[in-house]
Structure 1
Amino acid sequence: MNANIAVVSYNSDWPHQFNKEKQAILAHLPKANVAALHHIGSTAVPGLCAKPIIDMLLEVNDLDKLDIESEKLRDLGYEIMGEFGIARRRYFRKGIVSRTHHLHAFLAGSDGVKRHLAFRDYLITFPDIARQYAKVKQEAVNACNQDMEKYIAFKNGFIQYHEQHALLWRFG
Structure 2
Amino acid sequence: MKHLNSAGINPSEIRSALAVLRFIIINAVRFSCSEEVLLDELQQLGVPIEHSKVISKEVEKNRDFLAEYLTSKTFHLPTLERFDYRVDLPVLCNSSRQVGFPIVSFEMQPSAIGEEAPFPTAKISMSSSMFASLMTEMEKASKILDQVDSSNASSSSSSSTLE
Using structure 2 for the length normalisation, give the TM-score.
Answer: 0.24
Structure showing the higher helix proportion among its residues: 2
Using structure 1 for the length normalisation, give the TM-score.
Answer: 0.23
Bigger relative contact order (CA 8 A; separation at least 6): 1
Larger Rg: 2
